[in-house]
A = this chain, B = another copy of it.
Amino acid sequence: MRRIFITLIVCSLAMMSSHAQSDSAMIKSIYNEVLTNGECYENLRFLCKNIGNRIAGSENADKAILWGEKVMKDYGFDSVYIMPVEVPNWIRGKKEVAYYSVEGKRLDVPAVALGGSVGSEKPITAEVIEVKSFDELRALGEEKVKGKIVFFNKAMDPMLINTGAAYGGAYEIRGQGPIEAAKLGAVGCLIRSLTLADDKYAHTGATKYDDSVTKIPAAALSSVDARELSRQIKLNGSIKFTLHLTCQVFPRKMQGNVIGEIRGSEFPDEFIVVGGHLDSWDIGEGAHDDGTGIVQSIEVARALKAIGYKPKRTIRIILYINEEFGNDGGETYASVVKYKGEEHIAAIESDGGGFTPQGFNLQGTDAQMEQLKSWKPLLEPYQLFSFRQGWSGVDIGPLKNDRIALFGLSVDSQRYFDYHHSGNDVFENVNNRELSLGAAAMASLVFLIDQSGIPSGEQ
Protein backbone atom coordinates (compact mmCIF):
# COMPACT_ATOMS: atom_id res chain seq x y z
CA MET A 1 0.00 0.00 0.00
CA ARG A 2 2.73 2.33 1.05
CA ARG A 3 4.59 1.54 -2.16
CA ILE A 4 1.53 2.36 -4.25
CA PHE A 5 1.16 5.60 -2.38
CA ILE A 6 4.78 6.54 -3.02
CA THR A 7 4.41 5.54 -6.67
CA LEU A 8 1.37 7.78 -6.92
CA ILE A 9 3.25 10.68 -5.41
CA VAL A 10 6.22 10.13 -7.72
CA CYS A 11 3.89 9.95 -10.74
CA SER A 12 2.03 13.10 -9.85
CA LEU A 13 5.29 14.95 -9.16
CA ALA A 14 6.54 13.79 -12.55
CA MET A 15 3.32 15.00 -14.17
CA MET A 16 3.60 18.34 -12.43
CA SER A 17 7.16 18.66 -13.56
CA SER A 18 6.36 17.77 -17.16
CA HIS A 19 3.47 20.22 -16.97
CA ALA A 20 5.87 22.94 -15.84
CA GLN A 21 8.22 21.92 -18.64
CA SER A 22 5.54 22.25 -21.30
CA ASP A 23 4.39 25.58 -19.80
CA SER A 24 7.96 26.74 -19.90
CA ALA A 25 8.38 25.61 -23.53
CA MET A 26 5.14 27.37 -24.47
CA ILE A 27 6.25 30.61 -22.86
CA LYS A 28 9.56 30.34 -24.69
CA SER A 29 7.65 29.98 -27.99
CA ILE A 30 5.56 33.02 -27.17
CA TYR A 31 8.64 35.11 -26.48
CA ASN A 32 10.45 33.82 -29.57
CA GLU A 33 7.45 34.62 -31.76
CA VAL A 34 7.02 38.14 -30.40
CA LEU A 35 10.76 38.92 -30.43
CA THR A 36 11.37 37.66 -33.96
CA ASN A 37 8.08 38.07 -35.86
CA GLY A 38 6.34 40.58 -33.62
CA GLU A 39 4.14 43.15 -35.32
CA CYS A 40 3.27 45.47 -32.46
CA TYR A 41 5.99 47.98 -33.24
CA GLU A 42 4.93 48.38 -36.87
CA ASN A 43 1.28 48.55 -35.82
CA LEU A 44 2.21 51.32 -33.42
CA ARG A 45 4.06 53.16 -36.16
CA PHE A 46 0.92 53.11 -38.30
CA LEU A 47 -1.35 54.22 -35.46
CA CYS A 48 0.98 57.08 -34.48
CA LYS A 49 2.14 58.24 -37.88
CA ASN A 50 -0.87 57.57 -40.14
CA ILE A 51 -3.60 58.43 -37.65
CA GLY A 52 -1.86 60.36 -34.89
CA ASN A 53 -3.45 61.60 -31.71
CA ARG A 54 -7.09 60.56 -31.23
CA ILE A 55 -9.08 62.17 -28.47
CA ALA A 56 -12.49 60.55 -27.93
CA GLY A 57 -15.08 62.25 -30.07
CA SER A 58 -12.60 63.23 -32.78
CA GLU A 59 -12.43 62.11 -36.39
CA ASN A 60 -9.04 60.61 -35.63
CA ALA A 61 -10.65 58.42 -32.96
CA ASP A 62 -13.14 57.25 -35.62
CA LYS A 63 -10.20 56.39 -37.87
CA ALA A 64 -8.43 54.57 -35.06
CA ILE A 65 -11.54 52.50 -34.33
CA LEU A 66 -11.80 51.43 -37.97
CA TRP A 67 -8.06 50.74 -38.05
CA GLY A 68 -8.28 48.56 -34.94
CA GLU A 69 -11.18 46.62 -36.40
CA LYS A 70 -9.31 46.10 -39.67
CA VAL A 71 -6.08 44.97 -38.02
CA MET A 72 -7.84 42.35 -35.91
CA LYS A 73 -9.97 41.18 -38.86
CA ASP A 74 -6.85 40.87 -41.00
CA TYR A 75 -5.30 38.68 -38.29
CA GLY A 76 -8.29 36.40 -38.61
CA PHE A 77 -9.51 36.59 -35.02
CA ASP A 78 -12.74 34.58 -34.58
CA SER A 79 -14.92 37.61 -34.31
CA VAL A 80 -14.25 41.30 -34.41
CA TYR A 81 -16.88 43.93 -33.70
CA ILE A 82 -17.48 47.44 -32.42
CA MET A 83 -19.44 47.95 -29.21
CA PRO A 84 -21.14 51.35 -29.28
CA VAL A 85 -20.03 53.76 -26.56
CA GLU A 86 -21.18 57.33 -26.03
CA VAL A 87 -18.29 59.71 -25.54
CA PRO A 88 -17.81 63.42 -24.84
CA ASN A 89 -16.73 65.80 -27.55
CA TRP A 90 -14.46 68.47 -26.14
CA ILE A 91 -12.39 70.46 -28.58
CA ARG A 92 -9.24 72.40 -27.72
CA GLY A 93 -9.90 75.06 -30.35
CA LYS A 94 -7.21 77.37 -31.69
CA LYS A 95 -3.67 77.21 -30.42
CA GLU A 96 -3.52 78.52 -26.87
CA VAL A 97 -2.34 82.10 -26.37
CA ALA A 98 -0.34 82.53 -23.16
CA TYR A 99 2.17 85.24 -22.43
CA TYR A 100 3.47 87.79 -20.02
CA SER A 101 5.76 90.77 -20.37
CA VAL A 102 8.99 91.53 -18.62
CA GLU A 103 10.66 94.90 -19.14
CA GLY A 104 8.36 95.58 -22.06
CA LYS A 105 9.28 92.33 -23.80
CA ARG A 106 6.50 89.82 -24.44
CA LEU A 107 7.39 86.26 -23.44
CA ASP A 108 5.17 83.68 -25.12
CA VAL A 109 4.71 80.45 -23.25
CA PRO A 110 3.75 77.17 -24.96
CA ALA A 111 0.80 76.41 -22.65
CA VAL A 112 -1.77 73.69 -23.27
CA ALA A 113 -5.38 73.85 -22.14
CA LEU A 114 -6.27 71.15 -19.63
CA GLY A 115 -8.71 68.58 -20.98
CA GLY A 116 -12.27 69.79 -20.50
CA SER A 117 -11.27 73.39 -19.84
CA VAL A 118 -13.70 76.11 -20.80
CA GLY A 119 -12.57 78.81 -23.17
CA SER A 120 -13.23 82.52 -23.02
CA GLU A 121 -14.49 84.88 -25.67
CA LYS A 122 -11.67 87.32 -25.13
CA PRO A 123 -8.18 86.92 -23.70
CA ILE A 124 -8.03 87.11 -19.91
CA THR A 125 -5.31 89.34 -18.49
CA ALA A 126 -4.73 89.33 -14.77
CA GLU A 127 -2.05 89.28 -12.12
CA VAL A 128 -0.62 85.82 -11.43
CA ILE A 129 -0.55 84.56 -7.91
CA GLU A 130 1.69 81.57 -7.24
CA VAL A 131 0.90 78.83 -4.73
CA LYS A 132 2.12 75.29 -4.15
CA SER A 133 -0.95 73.75 -2.55
CA PHE A 134 -4.65 74.17 -1.86
CA ASP A 135 -3.80 74.98 1.77
CA GLU A 136 -1.55 77.81 0.67
CA LEU A 137 -4.29 79.06 -1.65
CA ARG A 138 -6.95 78.97 1.04
CA ALA A 139 -4.65 80.75 3.48
CA LEU A 140 -4.45 83.65 1.02
CA GLY A 141 -8.24 83.96 1.05
CA GLU A 142 -10.64 85.58 -1.37
CA GLU A 143 -9.23 89.04 -0.91
CA LYS A 144 -5.86 88.15 -2.41
CA VAL A 145 -7.13 85.69 -5.01
CA LYS A 146 -10.16 87.42 -6.47
CA GLY A 147 -9.67 88.60 -10.04
CA LYS A 148 -6.27 86.88 -10.30
CA ILE A 149 -4.90 83.95 -12.27
CA VAL A 150 -3.85 81.25 -9.80
CA PHE A 151 -0.61 79.47 -10.69
CA PHE A 152 -0.22 76.11 -8.96
CA ASN A 153 3.52 75.51 -9.10
CA LYS A 154 3.75 72.06 -7.57
CA ALA A 155 6.25 69.54 -8.92
CA MET A 156 5.91 65.78 -8.75
CA ASP A 157 8.03 64.37 -5.91
CA PRO A 158 11.33 63.18 -7.46
CA MET A 159 12.19 61.17 -4.34
CA LEU A 160 9.54 58.54 -4.97
CA ILE A 161 11.05 55.66 -6.93
CA ASN A 162 7.80 54.71 -8.64
CA THR A 163 6.85 57.73 -10.73
CA GLY A 164 3.20 56.63 -10.69
CA ALA A 165 3.15 57.32 -6.96
CA ALA A 166 4.65 60.76 -7.60
CA TYR A 167 1.95 61.42 -10.21
CA GLY A 168 -0.70 60.27 -7.75
CA GLY A 169 0.61 62.77 -5.21
CA ALA A 170 0.40 65.77 -7.55
CA TYR A 171 -2.60 64.77 -9.61
CA GLU A 172 -5.23 66.47 -7.46
CA ILE A 173 -3.93 69.90 -8.41
CA ARG A 174 -4.76 69.31 -12.08
CA GLY A 175 -8.16 67.77 -11.41
CA GLN A 176 -9.33 70.10 -8.67
CA GLY A 177 -7.23 73.24 -9.15
CA PRO A 178 -9.68 75.23 -11.29
CA ILE A 179 -12.50 74.58 -8.80
CA GLU A 180 -10.46 75.59 -5.76
CA ALA A 181 -9.14 78.71 -7.49
CA ALA A 182 -12.59 79.76 -8.75
CA LYS A 183 -14.12 79.31 -5.29
CA LEU A 184 -11.96 82.25 -4.18
CA GLY A 185 -12.82 84.33 -7.25
CA ALA A 186 -9.84 83.55 -9.52
CA VAL A 187 -10.42 84.21 -13.24
CA GLY A 188 -7.95 81.66 -14.61
CA CYS A 189 -5.79 78.77 -13.54
CA LEU A 190 -2.28 77.70 -14.55
CA ILE A 191 -0.55 74.55 -13.35
CA ARG A 192 2.98 73.28 -13.63
CA SER A 193 2.85 70.20 -15.88
CA LEU A 194 2.79 66.83 -14.16
CA THR A 195 6.16 65.59 -15.35
CA LEU A 196 9.57 64.74 -13.93
CA ALA A 197 11.33 66.01 -17.05
CA ASP A 198 13.02 69.37 -17.11
CA ASP A 199 11.96 70.58 -20.55
CA LYS A 200 9.68 72.78 -22.62
CA TYR A 201 6.82 70.31 -23.15
CA ALA A 202 3.49 71.20 -21.55
CA HIS A 203 1.37 68.24 -20.43
CA THR A 204 -2.41 68.26 -20.60
CA GLY A 205 -4.85 65.90 -18.85
CA ALA A 206 -8.39 65.96 -17.52
CA THR A 207 -9.54 68.68 -15.20
CA LYS A 208 -12.93 68.99 -13.49
CA TYR A 209 -15.53 71.59 -12.77
CA ASP A 210 -18.20 71.80 -10.15
CA ASP A 211 -21.51 73.14 -11.49
CA SER A 212 -21.94 75.25 -8.37
CA VAL A 213 -18.63 77.07 -8.96
CA THR A 214 -17.71 79.42 -11.83
CA LYS A 215 -15.85 77.56 -14.58
CA ILE A 216 -12.54 79.26 -15.32
CA PRO A 217 -10.04 78.49 -18.10
CA ALA A 218 -7.17 76.26 -17.06
CA ALA A 219 -3.88 75.46 -18.77
CA ALA A 220 -0.56 73.74 -18.04
CA LEU A 221 2.94 75.19 -18.45
CA SER A 222 6.07 73.14 -19.07
CA SER A 223 8.38 72.56 -16.10
CA VAL A 224 10.93 74.99 -17.54
CA ASP A 225 8.30 77.69 -18.18
CA ALA A 226 6.80 77.20 -14.73
CA ARG A 227 10.20 77.68 -13.11
CA GLU A 228 10.85 80.77 -15.20
CA LEU A 229 7.44 82.30 -14.42
CA SER A 230 8.06 81.68 -10.71
CA ARG A 231 11.46 83.36 -10.99
CA GLN A 232 9.99 86.35 -12.79
CA ILE A 233 7.26 86.73 -10.16
CA LYS A 234 9.92 86.82 -7.46
CA LEU A 235 12.09 89.24 -9.45
CA ASN A 236 9.29 91.61 -10.42
CA GLY A 237 7.00 91.32 -7.43
CA SER A 238 4.02 91.03 -9.73
CA ILE A 239 3.43 89.63 -13.21
CA LYS A 240 0.39 90.17 -15.42
CA PHE A 241 -0.40 87.09 -17.46
CA THR A 242 -2.61 86.83 -20.54
CA LEU A 243 -4.37 83.56 -21.28
CA HIS A 244 -6.71 82.87 -24.16
CA LEU A 245 -8.24 79.44 -24.60
CA THR A 246 -10.95 78.79 -27.17
CA CYS A 247 -11.98 75.30 -26.04
CA GLN A 248 -15.55 74.22 -26.64
CA VAL A 249 -17.79 71.37 -25.60
CA PHE A 250 -19.99 69.80 -28.29
CA PRO A 251 -22.80 67.31 -27.71
CA ARG A 252 -21.79 63.78 -26.80
CA LYS A 253 -21.59 61.36 -29.71
CA MET A 254 -21.30 57.65 -30.46
CA GLN A 255 -17.98 55.93 -30.93
CA GLY A 256 -17.05 52.46 -29.72
CA ASN A 257 -14.84 49.88 -28.09
CA VAL A 258 -13.25 47.60 -30.66
CA ILE A 259 -13.41 43.96 -29.60
CA GLY A 260 -11.64 40.97 -31.09
CA GLU A 261 -12.11 37.43 -29.83
CA ILE A 262 -10.39 34.08 -30.02
CA ARG A 263 -13.05 31.64 -28.94
CA GLY A 264 -12.29 29.09 -26.23
CA SER A 265 -12.38 25.43 -27.16
CA GLU A 266 -13.38 24.02 -23.74
CA PHE A 267 -14.93 26.88 -21.81
CA PRO A 268 -16.02 29.40 -24.45
CA ASP A 269 -18.20 31.21 -21.89
CA GLU A 270 -15.30 32.01 -19.60
CA PHE A 271 -13.61 35.22 -20.69
CA ILE A 272 -10.12 36.59 -20.28
CA VAL A 273 -9.99 40.27 -21.24
CA VAL A 274 -6.81 41.91 -22.54
CA GLY A 275 -6.87 45.62 -23.27
CA GLY A 276 -5.70 49.17 -23.30
CA HIS A 277 -7.26 52.40 -24.49
CA LEU A 278 -7.45 53.54 -28.07
CA ASP A 279 -8.14 57.19 -27.35
CA SER A 280 -5.34 59.57 -26.39
CA TRP A 281 -5.07 63.23 -25.63
CA ASP A 282 -5.12 65.56 -28.62
CA ILE A 283 -1.44 66.50 -28.68
CA GLY A 284 1.53 64.31 -29.56
CA GLU A 285 0.71 60.89 -30.96
CA GLY A 286 -0.58 59.01 -27.91
CA ALA A 287 2.32 56.60 -28.35
CA HIS A 288 3.00 55.48 -24.76
CA ASP A 289 -0.47 56.59 -23.62
CA ASP A 290 -1.81 54.25 -24.71
CA GLY A 291 -0.94 53.26 -28.27
CA THR A 292 1.52 50.79 -26.79
CA GLY A 293 -1.20 49.09 -24.70
CA ILE A 294 -3.37 48.78 -27.80
CA VAL A 295 -0.77 47.19 -30.02
CA GLN A 296 0.46 44.93 -27.20
CA SER A 297 -3.09 43.68 -26.57
CA ILE A 298 -3.57 42.89 -30.25
CA GLU A 299 -0.15 41.22 -30.30
CA VAL A 300 -1.18 38.89 -27.46
CA ALA A 301 -3.84 37.29 -29.64
CA ARG A 302 -1.78 37.49 -32.83
CA ALA A 303 1.18 35.72 -31.25
CA LEU A 304 -0.89 33.00 -29.54
CA LYS A 305 -2.60 32.36 -32.87
CA ALA A 306 0.70 32.41 -34.79
CA ILE A 307 2.23 29.68 -32.63
CA GLY A 308 -0.91 27.60 -33.07
CA TYR A 309 -2.20 27.87 -29.53
CA LYS A 310 -5.90 27.00 -29.16
CA PRO A 311 -7.16 28.59 -25.95
CA LYS A 312 -9.56 26.72 -23.68
CA ARG A 313 -11.26 29.94 -22.65
CA THR A 314 -12.34 32.88 -24.79
CA ILE A 315 -9.71 35.59 -25.07
CA ARG A 316 -11.20 38.99 -25.71
CA ILE A 317 -8.98 41.81 -26.87
CA ILE A 318 -10.56 45.19 -26.13
CA LEU A 319 -9.47 48.52 -27.53
CA TYR A 320 -11.35 50.76 -25.12
CA ILE A 321 -12.54 54.21 -26.10
CA ASN A 322 -12.26 57.26 -23.89
CA GLU A 323 -10.21 56.30 -20.92
CA GLU A 324 -8.86 59.82 -20.68
CA PHE A 325 -11.99 61.80 -20.09
CA GLY A 326 -14.64 59.81 -18.26
CA ASN A 327 -13.82 56.12 -18.83
CA ASP A 328 -16.89 55.62 -20.98
CA GLY A 329 -15.47 52.58 -22.78
CA GLY A 330 -14.62 50.78 -19.55
CA GLU A 331 -17.94 51.62 -17.90
CA THR A 332 -20.00 50.65 -20.93
CA TYR A 333 -18.19 47.37 -21.40
CA ALA A 334 -18.61 46.40 -17.74
CA SER A 335 -22.31 47.24 -17.79
CA VAL A 336 -22.83 45.08 -20.89
CA VAL A 337 -20.96 42.20 -19.19
CA LYS A 338 -23.17 42.56 -16.13
CA TYR A 339 -26.35 42.75 -18.21
CA LYS A 340 -25.41 39.62 -20.16
CA GLY A 341 -24.16 37.84 -17.05
CA GLU A 342 -20.91 36.90 -18.79
CA GLU A 343 -18.34 35.11 -16.63
CA HIS A 344 -15.06 37.05 -16.70
CA ILE A 345 -12.32 35.25 -14.82
CA ALA A 346 -9.50 37.73 -15.46
CA ALA A 347 -8.63 40.98 -17.19
CA ILE A 348 -5.18 42.37 -18.02
CA GLU A 349 -4.47 45.97 -18.92
CA SER A 350 -1.38 47.69 -20.24
CA ASP A 351 -1.56 51.44 -19.64
CA GLY A 352 1.74 52.43 -18.08
CA GLY A 353 3.64 52.96 -21.34
CA GLY A 354 5.55 50.55 -23.56
CA PHE A 355 8.57 50.25 -21.28
CA THR A 356 10.50 47.20 -20.06
CA PRO A 357 8.01 45.03 -18.18
CA GLN A 358 8.76 44.18 -14.55
CA GLY A 359 5.83 41.91 -13.71
CA PHE A 360 2.16 42.22 -12.90
CA ASN A 361 0.08 44.01 -10.34
CA LEU A 362 -2.99 42.19 -9.12
CA GLN A 363 -6.21 43.63 -7.82
CA GLY A 364 -7.63 40.48 -6.37
CA THR A 365 -7.71 38.01 -3.53
CA ASP A 366 -4.95 36.28 -1.61
CA ALA A 367 -5.72 33.02 -3.39
CA GLN A 368 -5.35 34.75 -6.76
CA MET A 369 -2.07 36.23 -5.57
CA GLU A 370 -0.85 32.78 -4.58
CA GLN A 371 -1.70 31.54 -8.06
CA LEU A 372 0.18 34.45 -9.64
CA LYS A 373 3.19 33.80 -7.42
CA SER A 374 3.16 30.11 -8.32
CA TRP A 375 3.97 31.22 -11.89
CA LYS A 376 7.01 33.23 -10.80
CA PRO A 377 9.55 30.51 -11.68
CA LEU A 378 8.13 30.45 -15.22
CA LEU A 379 8.26 34.22 -15.64
CA GLU A 380 11.50 35.13 -13.86
CA PRO A 381 13.73 33.96 -16.76
CA TYR A 382 12.16 36.84 -18.69
CA GLN A 383 13.25 39.37 -16.06
CA LEU A 384 9.75 39.63 -14.62
CA PHE A 385 10.22 39.96 -10.88
CA SER A 386 7.43 42.10 -9.47
CA PHE A 387 4.21 40.34 -8.51
CA ARG A 388 2.20 42.29 -6.00
CA GLN A 389 -1.19 43.65 -5.05
CA GLY A 390 -1.59 46.99 -6.78
CA TRP A 391 -3.27 49.06 -9.44
CA SER A 392 -4.48 47.24 -12.56
CA GLY A 393 -5.98 49.72 -15.03
CA VAL A 394 -8.67 52.34 -15.50
CA ASP A 395 -10.42 50.62 -18.41
CA ILE A 396 -10.76 47.21 -16.76
CA GLY A 397 -11.47 48.73 -13.33
CA PRO A 398 -15.29 48.70 -13.71
CA LEU A 399 -15.16 44.90 -14.17
CA LYS A 400 -14.18 44.59 -10.51
CA ASN A 401 -16.39 42.24 -8.54
CA ASP A 402 -15.91 39.51 -5.96
CA ARG A 403 -14.72 36.96 -8.48
CA ILE A 404 -12.52 38.44 -11.21
CA ALA A 405 -8.74 38.85 -11.03
CA LEU A 406 -7.62 42.19 -12.48
CA PHE A 407 -4.00 42.46 -13.62
CA GLY A 408 -1.97 45.48 -14.65
CA LEU A 409 1.23 45.05 -16.65
CA SER A 410 3.85 46.61 -14.41
CA VAL A 411 6.61 48.39 -16.34
CA ASP A 412 9.67 50.48 -15.62
CA SER A 413 8.07 53.82 -14.77
CA GLN A 414 11.05 56.17 -14.96
CA ARG A 415 10.40 57.76 -18.36
CA TYR A 416 6.62 57.59 -18.56
CA PHE A 417 5.79 61.07 -17.27
CA ASP A 418 8.41 62.62 -19.56
CA TYR A 419 6.02 61.84 -22.43
CA HIS A 420 2.55 61.33 -20.89
CA HIS A 421 -0.11 63.74 -22.23
CA SER A 422 2.45 65.89 -24.05
CA GLY A 423 3.54 66.71 -27.58
CA ASN A 424 6.55 64.51 -26.86
CA ASP A 425 4.51 61.29 -26.63
CA VAL A 426 5.52 60.15 -30.10
CA PHE A 427 6.46 56.88 -31.78
CA GLU A 428 10.17 57.70 -31.77
CA ASN A 429 10.18 57.50 -27.97
CA VAL A 430 9.05 53.87 -27.94
CA ASN A 431 11.65 51.10 -28.09
CA ASN A 432 10.73 48.02 -30.09
CA ARG A 433 12.20 45.50 -27.64
CA GLU A 434 10.74 47.10 -24.54
CA LEU A 435 7.33 47.18 -26.21
CA SER A 436 7.59 43.62 -27.48
CA LEU A 437 8.73 42.21 -24.13
CA GLY A 438 5.58 43.69 -22.59
CA ALA A 439 3.39 42.00 -25.20
CA ALA A 440 5.16 38.68 -24.64
CA ALA A 441 4.74 38.99 -20.86
CA MET A 442 1.01 39.63 -21.29
CA ALA A 443 0.60 36.73 -23.72
CA SER A 444 2.43 34.44 -21.27
CA LEU A 445 0.11 35.42 -18.43
CA VAL A 446 -2.93 34.90 -20.65
CA PHE A 447 -1.61 31.46 -21.56
CA LEU A 448 -1.09 30.51 -17.90
CA ILE A 449 -4.53 31.75 -16.82
CA ASP A 450 -6.11 30.03 -19.78
CA GLN A 451 -4.43 26.74 -18.97
CA SER A 452 -5.13 26.47 -15.29
CA GLY A 453 -7.80 29.04 -14.63
CA ILE A 454 -7.48 31.27 -11.59
CA PRO A 455 -9.30 30.91 -8.28
CA SER A 456 -12.50 32.88 -8.29
CA GLY A 457 -12.56 35.48 -5.54
CA GLU A 458 -15.63 33.77 -4.18
CA GLN A 459 -13.86 30.48 -3.51
Contact = CB atoms under 8 A, between A and B. Distances in A.
A196 B38 CA distance: 14
Nearest to A162: B383
Given A35-B159, A382-B161, A418-B431, A356 B198 contact: no
Nearest to A433: B414
Copies of this chain, count: 2
A236 interface: no
A31 B414 contact: no
A360 to B, nearest CB: 14
Interface in A157-175: 158-159, 161-163
Given A356-B414, A433-B414, A159 B31 contact: yes
24 contacts: A31-B159, A31-B161, A32-B159, A36-B159, A158-B433, A161-B381, A161-B382, A161-B383, A163-B433, A196-B433, A197-B432, A198-B432, A356-B356, A356-B412, A358-B383, A385-B385, A385-B386, A412-B412, A414-B431, A414-B433, A414-B434, A414-B437, A415-B431, A418-B431
Interface of A: 31-32, 35-36, 158-159, 161-163, 196-198, 356, 358, 381-383, 385-386, 412, 414-415, 418, 431-434, 437
Given A414-B434, A414-B437, 10 more contacts: A31-B159, A35-B159, A36-B158, A36-B159, A161-B381, A356-B412, A356-B414, A385-B386, A414-B433, A418-B431
Minimum-distance CB pairs A-B, first 6: A385-B385, A414-B433, A35-B158, A32-B159, A356-B412, A414-B434
